Chains A and B, each alone.
Chain A
């Protein structure tokens, strides 16, 4: 009886033979697939920062004893130098930015103070006068 389920599953195999595979992908699938693999390989070799790792699922034992290794970008000295340089640029930019904003802010506060002094007389004279900043 159980084999009934198995037979039904076997019958539902969409790619049960070489013919159905060729029907799906064409007769020259071997050559064209290899060409795709080669061109992808060349493309990735051109990008020297790219690494091919064995895909893994989170929380699963990847391939039994044949564990794949995912290269971490942090373990590469080149990346470390680039990350340190980027951090220096970001921190430096933040410091310079805050200094500039500080001076601008002080100038703006002075301007507001002067404007308020100038408007003070009018404001006292006309309680309906509204100042928009």
Chain B
């Protein structure tokens, strides 16, 4: 009986893993360094494996996994910041922003770097809603599931975050002039 349950659990996990491991790995890789992304993704699927009852079935699985990844990365960043503070204290240097992988930033062109820098200056919640919409290309209803907020709140926060990003981006005067415009019909 227990063996049958284990088999069913493993099959359910395999299905979730096969369907979503790339999306979760990409989600993490867009937000942190290569090695941290790998570790965080392993951690996310470990959570899914150990807590199969918590994973929603069907379309709800991916937003749930993103939600776990979001929090796993936040925890990872917190412990990194602690280590960074300690290291900089010992070296007597000012800490660098550890939110984006410097190695990868070197490879970017100037415009991409500007965008990444501007995203880095946003509040984490603003950055997350923008990247979920434009990098993960999640519809608002799924972003709402990831962040645990209502669909209406997603629309409002996205518009606000985009306006703030417009302010943070250099050479973006045209956008700044129109940022008060709120699109009807919600997010893209």
Report the minimal beta-carbon distance from A27 to chain B, rounded to whole angstroms.
Answer: 12
Instruction: Tell yes or no: B30 within 8 A of A by CB.
Output: yes
| Complex partner residue of B22 from A18, A40, A52, A57, CB under 8 angstroms | A18
Q: Interface residue count for A (Cβ, 8 Å)? A: 41
Interface size class of B (residues with CB under 8 A): 35 or more
Which residues of chain A are near B59, meaning CB under 8 Å? Answer: none
Which residues of chain A are near B42, meaning CB under 8 Å? Answer: 33, 36-37, 40
Cα A52 to Cα B50 with chains together (Å): 7
Q: A5-B162, A44-B46 are contacts. A63–B29 as well, Cβ < 8 Å?
A: no
Q: A33-B21, A33-B25 are contacts. A13–B162 as well, Cβ < 8 Å?
A: no
Report the minimal beta-carbon distance from B153 to chain A, rounded to whole angstroms.
Answer: 11
Q: A2-B183, A21-B22, A66-B64 are contacts. A40–B46 as well, Cβ < 8 Å?
A: yes
Cα A32 to Cα B45 with chains together (Å): 13
Cα A6 to Cα B188 with chains together (Å): 9
Q: A9-B119, A21-B29 are contacts. A2–B181 as well, Cβ < 8 Å?
A: yes
**B residues at A contact (CB < 8 Å):** 17-18, 21-22, 25-26, 29-30, 34, 38, 41-43, 45-47, 49-51, 54, 56, 64, 67-68, 71-72, 74-75, 104, 108, 111-112, 114-116, 119, 130-131, 134-135, 144-145, 148-149, 162, 165-166, 169, 172, 174-175, 177-179, 181, 183, 188
